[in-house]
Structures are given as structure tokens and as C-alpha cells.
């Protein structure tokens, strides 16, 4: 059974989807730790409610950067928890070494667009504003770039003529909640064979 570490900055709906898939028997995995860079993020409340170990990443008061020292500490915490795969769930900071180096090929993210289209923030708004006919979500490996890692899986949704960013985002999230646990299951099988 693969041991997951979840990193998130916000509401934690994808963490909840992973937890639900585990509890429903759809995903053979265990969430061993949940970490957030935002002390009052709802993802930490979800973790506490589920009885999952959790903690706050100390980013030294920086609002968007992820200091090297903080990344090293995070890598240590995840290693000590026995994490085998790190799942970013709305984590809003770019990863660099030493965290990437500590878990090579074992950090994944879910992004609310069909990458390489619309990387970065508010991808659903970008899609609506660009007049795209299709959007969706992508699970990908994390590298040092912004949403540039190798794609693992994608799911698409149509962009409707009367869509607002919020309506499109809600439909994308429905797909995210199915795609992410399925992609984790696929990776777990791969890692078992290695």
C-alpha cells in the first residue's frame, strides 16, 4: 500500500477526494501526513477531522516563495513519515531542490487545465477569457517549472458558451476528484513493479 504525503494551501477538496477513494476501497493507499503552507487552510481542518497527522510548513513569512531551508525541512518531515509519493493538492508554491531531489519522480500535481494550455493561476478563467471550447484537468509529475512536468493523465470538459469562470471551475473540479485518485492508483502499481 503506497504511503502518500499531501501538500495543500487551501480548501483541500482534492485531498478529500483521495481520502474518499481510499475509504471506499477504490484506491489502495494511505495518507500518512498532510502539510500546508497556510496555517488556517481548510485542508488542515479536513486532515484533523479525518485523524490524519498534519502540520504547517514554515515559509519564513514569505507570501509566495518557498525558501530552500523550508523545502529541506519539508523533505525531512515527509521522509520521516515514510512518504513514498507526494501529492500536491492546490499547493501554491513552486518546488525546487532540495525537495525535488529528495523525492525524484515521486511528486505529482493536479492542474485545472489541459496542459500545456493555461499553466499557472486561475486556469479556468484563462480558458473562458481565451474563448477555448475545451478545458479540463491534468495530473503531471512535478519538476522545477510551473506546470511543465511530464503528463500522467488528463480529463476534458467542454467550455459552454454561457460559462462563467466559476461554473467551468466547478465542472473541472468534478473531473479532478475522479482523475487524481485514479492516477495515484496507476502510479502505485508502477512504483510497486520498480
> CA-CA distance, 110 to 89, in Å (whole number)?
7
Please indicate whether residue 177 is annotated as part of the active site. Answer: no
- The single residue of 111, 140, 169, 177 carrying the catalytic annotation is 111
The predicted structure's pLDDT at residue 130:
95
Residue 3 has pLDDT above 90, yes or no: yes
Average pLDDT of 128-148? 96
% of the chain surpassing 70 pLDDT: 100
How many Å separate Cα 123 from the centre of its chain?
15
> CA-CA distance, 94 to 65, in Å (whole number)?
7
Interval 65-108: pLDDT, tens: 999 999 999 999 999 999 999 999 999 999 999 899 999 999 99
> CA-CA distance, 91 to 7, in Å (whole number)?
6
And the C-alpha cell for 46? 479536513
Interval 12-22: pLDDT, tens: 999 999 999 99
Amino acid at each position: 500500500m503506497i504511503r502518500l504525503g499531501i501538500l495543500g494551501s487551501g480548501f483541500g477538496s482534492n485531498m478529500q477526494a483521495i481520502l474518499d477513494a481510499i475509504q471506499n476501497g477504490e484506491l489502495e493507499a494511505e495518507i500518512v501526513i498532510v502539510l500546508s503552507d497556510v496555517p488556517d487552510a481548510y485542508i488542515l481542518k479536513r486532515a484533523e477531522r479525518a485523524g490524519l497527522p498534519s502540520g504547517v510548513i514554515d515559509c519564513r513569512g514569505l507570501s509566495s516563495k518557498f525558501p530552500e531551508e523550508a523545502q529541506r525541512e519539508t523533505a525531512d518531515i515527509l521522509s520521516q513519515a515514510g512518504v513514498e509519493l507526494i501529492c500536491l493538492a492546490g499547493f501554491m508554491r513552486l518546488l525546487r531542490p532540495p525537495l525535488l531531489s529528495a523525492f525524484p519522480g515521486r511528486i505529482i500535481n493536479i492542474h485545472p487545465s489541459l496542459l500545456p494550455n493555461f499553466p499557472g493561476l486561475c486556469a479556468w478563467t484563462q480558458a473562458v477569457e481565451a474563448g477555448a471550447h475545451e478545458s479540463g484537468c491534468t495530473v503531471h509529475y512535478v519538476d522545477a517549472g510551473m506546470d511543465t512536468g511530464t503528463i500522467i493523465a488528463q480529463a476534458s470538459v467542454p467550455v459552454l458558451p454561457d460559462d462563467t469562470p466559476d461554473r467551468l471551475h466547478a465542472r473541472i473540479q468534478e473531473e479532478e476528484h475522479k482523475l487524481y485518485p485514479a492516477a495515484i492508483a496507476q502510479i502505485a502499481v508502477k512504483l510497486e513493479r520498480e
